[in-house]
Amino acid sequence: MNKFFERRYVVTGIFIAIILALLGRLYYIQIVDDRYTIYANSNVRRTTILYPARGPILDRNGKILVQNEPIYDVMINPKEVKPFDTLLFCKMIGIDKEGFDKRFIKAKRQSPNTASIFEKQLSVELYAALQEKLFEFPGFSIVPRTIRTYPDSVAAQFLGFIGEVTDRDIKRSNGYYRLGDYIGVTGVEKAYENVLRGQRGVQVQMVDSHGAFKGSFANGALDTVPRSGERLTSSLDIDLQRLGEKLMQNKLGGIVAIEPSSGEILCYVSSPTYDPNLMVGRQRGNNLAKMYNNPYKPFFIRPIQAQYPPGSSFKPLSALIALQEGIINPNETFYCTGNYRVGNRIVHCNHGEAHGTVNMAKAVAESCNGYFTMVFQRIVDRYGVKNTEANFVAWRNNVMKFGLGARLDLDMPAESRGNVPTPLHYDNAYHKGGWRSSTIAALAIGQGELLATPLQLANLECTIANRGFFYKPHLIKAIGTENVIKKEYVEKNYVGIDSGYFEPVINGMEAVVENGTARRSKIPDIIMCGKTGTAQNPHGEDHSVFVAFAPRDNPKIAIAVVVENSGEGAHWAAPIASFIVEKYLKGKVTPRESGFTVDYFANANRLPDLSLYAQDLQKERRRDSIRAAKVDSIKKFKADSIKKFKADSIKKERREAAYNNKPANWIKTLTGGRTGKS
C-alpha cells in the first residue's frame, strides 16, 4: 500500500510489549506479592481490646473481699479540641494548668488524630460533674473502666494488688499482655492471675485515612466477646481476719490460723498491714512509694516470708520424733537442775528455774530446755558419735516431713523455705566430722540455725491436731461458680509418726494452757493445746511465739502467732492466739479470768524503736526492699550463726540499753513482777 507499511508491526510490537510488561508488573503486585494485603489491613483495621471484669474474691462465708468498681478515664482527641474554658476543666478533674499543658502536649505527640488517655481513673463523683458539662469541652470523652475495690480493707497481703505490666511481663507472656494492661503483682492477684483476669475480647473496627471509625470489620467476624474472670472463694474468715489485724496493729509479726481438717487458712495476718484501697486509684503511685519507704515494711508478707527461730514451740516436734524413733519412753523421767551440760557448754532453763523431775508431758508443759537437749543428744548420738552425720540426717528428714525447711506450696507467690540446717552447713562452719551433737544442741530447743515461717508453724500444729497428717494449707478453697477445688488440697500428707505417740505430747500441750506458761490465755470452756516460744534472734529483743490448736478433741483450728521483738510467747502471742481461737469457735470473745481484753492487746504498741533499725535500713535501702530483706536475713543468719554469741553480744548490749530506756517496763506492771516461763 505505502512505503512504510511494515512499520505497523514495529509500532504494534512495541505497544504490545510495553502493555504486557505492565500486566506482568500488575500480576506481580496483585497475585504474587502478599505484602500489600497486610499493609491494606493495617491501614484500615483498628483492633480494640475489650477488657473483661476481673474476678471477685469472697471470704469463706461468701462476704466480699474484692470487687470491681466503675471508674472513668478521660480521653482526648487533640484534633477535635476547640477552644474551651481550660480553667474550669482543670478544676473539674482536679489538675492544674501546668499539668493540663503537659498532658495535652503528650497526647498530641502520641496520637494527634485519635483518642488517647488524658487523665486516668476519675471517681464517680468527678465523673458525674464532668459528664454534665462535657459538651463544653469538644474533643474530650469519657471511657468507663473498672478498678479493684476492697469494701472491708482487710487482708492486704493476701489479696495483693494489680499494676500495669512491665516489659518483662510482656516478654514472658509471649505477647499476651500489651503495654498498659493490668496484671496481678502480688498476693492472690498474682497467684491466680490466669483465673482472675478472664478472657479478653477484641473488636475489630475500620477507620478511614483520618482515623475516624467507620463501623465493624467484616460484620464482626473477627470480634470476640470478653469473658469475665472467675470468682474465687477464699478460705479466710473475714471476721477472724479483722480481729487478727486489730490485735496485731502497732506490732510486727504474723498470724496464720488453719482448719486442720481441710488445710484451709482461716486467718492470714501480716503486720503492719495497709489498706488495700491505697493500691488503686490516682494516688497509687504516691502510696506505693510511701509503703516501700516504710521501715516496718508493710509489703513484707510475714506469714510466709518472715522466717523466725521457732524457739520452744519446736519442742513438741522434738518429742514426737524421739517417741517415734523409740529413743525415749513418755514416762521416763529426767531430773532438771536448771542447767544441763552439753560438751563444754551449759544449757540453762529459762530464768534459771529448776524443774526437778520431769516426764515428757511435764517437760513440754514447763518447757524444760535440759530435757529436750538430752533427748536431742540421744537421737544424734544413737549409733555412736562417729555416725553423727547420718543420725543427724535421719533427724533432719523427720523434721522436714512436717513441712519445715521447704516450701509448703501455698497458693501464693514468694513463699520462704525456712531453714533446717544441712550437714554441709556444719561441715563448712567447722570441718567434716568436726561437729557433734553438743555442737548443734541449740536445734533441740528450736534455736540455732532453725527457721520457720508462721505458716510452717501453724501447719505443724495442724499435724499435731490431726495426730499425724496435714492437708496442704491453701487460701483459695474454690475456683469459679462451680467451686472447683485443686486435687492436691484433699490429699493427706502423713509425717511418719504413729498417732498413738501424740497423746503424751498433747497432754503436755494441754497443760501449757491449763496450768503452764500460757495459763493466763486459757479460754473459758474450751480446751486449747498450745506451746509458747521465745525466739532469740539477731535482730533485737526475743520474738514472742505461740502455737496452738483447739479444741483438744476433734480440733477445729490450729494457729501460730509471732509478735516480733516483744519478749516471751506467753505475754503477747498466746493471748492474741487465744482471742482468735475463741472468736472462731464461739463467734465472740468472752471475758477472761486473767482480765485480758482484746482492747488492751489491740491498743498496745510493740513496734521496735526505729533507731535500732537504722543500720539495717541503710544497708537495705541500697537494694530492692522485699526480696533483699529475705535474702539478707538468710545470708546474715548463716554468717552470724556461729559467731553469734560473741559478735552479737556487743550489738545486743547496745540494743538492750536502748530498750531499757523505754519508759514503762510493762511486763512487770501486767504480771505483778512475776516473769513467766516460755
Partner 1 sequence: MSTQQRSFFFNVDWLTVFLYLILCAIGWFNIHAAVFDANHSSIVDTSTNYGKQFIYICVSIVVGIVILLLESRFIAALAPAFYVVIVLLLVLVLIIGRNVGGNQAWINMGGGFRLQPSEFAKFATCLLLARYLSGTNIRVTDPKSFLMAAAIIGFPMLLIMLQPDTGSTLVFCSLIFVLYREGLSPYFLIIAGLFITLFVTSLLYNPLYIILILVALTAFIIFLFKRNRQLIKTMVIGLAICIAFIFSVKFIYSHVLKKHQTERINILLGITTDLRGKGYNVNQSKIAIGSGKLWGKGYLHGTQTQYSFVPEQSTDFIFCTVGEEWGFAGSLTVISLFMFLILRVILIAERQRSPFTRVYGYGVASVLFFHVVINIGMTIGVVPVIGIPLPFISYGGSSLLSFTMLLFTLIKLDSNRKSNV
SS (H, E, C) 539-552: CEEEEEEEEEEECC
The answer to whether residue 615 forms part of the interface with partner 1 (CB under 8 A) is no
Is the CB of 39 or the CB of 335 nearer to partner 1?
39
Site for partner 1 in 424-443 (CB under 8 A): none
User: How many residues of this chain bind partner 1 (CB under 8 A)?
Assistant: 37
All cell numbers assigned to 233: 472463694
Residue 18 or 631: which CB sits closer to partner 1?
A: 18
Distance of CA 303 to the CA centre of its chain: 7
- By DSSP bridging, strand 232-234 and strand 57-58 are parallel
Q: Which is nearer to partner 1, 179 or 221 (CB)?
A: 221
Does 219 engage in binding with partner 1 (CB under 8 A)?
A: no
For residue 203, the Cα-to-chain-centroid distance in whole angstroms is 37
CB atoms within 10 A of CB 339: 13
CA atoms within 13 A on the CB side of 283: 9
How far, in Å, CA of 675 to CA of 456, rounded? 28
CB-based contact 547:401 (threshold 8 Å): no
Q: Does 494 bind partner 1 (CB under 8 A)?
A: no
Stretch that binds partner 1, among 203-211, 431-439, 638-646, 661-669 (CB under 8 A): 203-211
Query: Which residue stretch of 18-26, 280-288, 613-621, 667-675 sits at the interface with partner 1 (rule: CB under 8 A)?
Result: 18-26
Nearer to partner 1, 3 or 82 (CB): 3
By C-beta, is 22 or 393 nearer to partner 1? Answer: 22
Is 48 an interacting residue with respect to partner 1 (CB under 8 A)?
no
348 in contact with partner 1 (CB under 8 A): no
Of the residues 97, 109, 178, 214, which one makes contact with partner 1 according to CB under 8 A: 214
User: Strand pairing of 476-479 and 469-471?
Assistant: unpaired
Distance in angstroms (rounded) separating the CA atoms of residues 666 and 678: 17
SS3 (DSSP) at 360: helix
Is residue 3 part of the contact set for partner 1 (CB under 8 A)?
Answer: yes
- β-partners of residue 202 are 49
Site for partner 1 in 153-192 (CB under 8 A): none
Choose the binding region for partner 1 from 17-25, 46-54, 171-179, 258-266 (rule: CB under 8 A): 17-25
Place of cell 534472734: 537
Q: Whole-number minimum distance, CB 114 to partner 1, in Å?
A: 14
Give yes or no for residue 109 binding partner 1 (CB under 8 A). Answer: no
Q: What is the DSSP string of 35-54?
A: HHHHHHHHHHEEEEEEPPPP
Residue type, 283: Q
Nearer to partner 1, 3 or 662 (CB): 3
Residue from 83, 135, 209, 595 in contact with partner 1 (CB under 8 A): 209
DSSP string, 545-583: EEEEEESSSS--EEEEEEETT---TTTTHHHHHHHHHHH
Kindly indicate which of the ranges 11-19, 77-85, 462-470, 552-560 contains the residues binding partner 1, using the contact rule CB under 8 A: 11-19
Minimum CB distance to partner 1 smaller for 7 or for 586: 7
Amino acid type, 73: D
Q: Do the Cβ atoms of 223 and 204 come closer than 8 Å?
A: yes
Does position 35 interact with partner 1 (CB under 8 A)? The reply is: yes
Contact between 565 and 540 (Cβ < 8 Å): yes
User: Which of 2/661 has CB closer to partner 1?
Assistant: 2
Of 12 and 329, nearer to partner 1 (C-beta) is 12
Distance CA 146, CA 475 (A): 25
Q: Is 27 in the site for partner 1 (CB under 8 A)?
A: yes
> Quick one: which of 53, 90, 207, 406 contacts partner 1 (CB under 8 A)?
207
Under the binding rule (CB under 8 A), the answer on residue 128 touching partner 1 is: no
222 close to 44: Cβ distance less than 8 angstroms:
no
Q: Does 25 bind partner 1 (CB under 8 A)?
A: yes
Contacting residues toward partner 1, per CB under 8 A: 1-5, 7-8, 10-12, 14-16, 18-19, 22-23, 25-27, 29-31, 33, 35-37, 39-41, 43-44, 206-209, 214
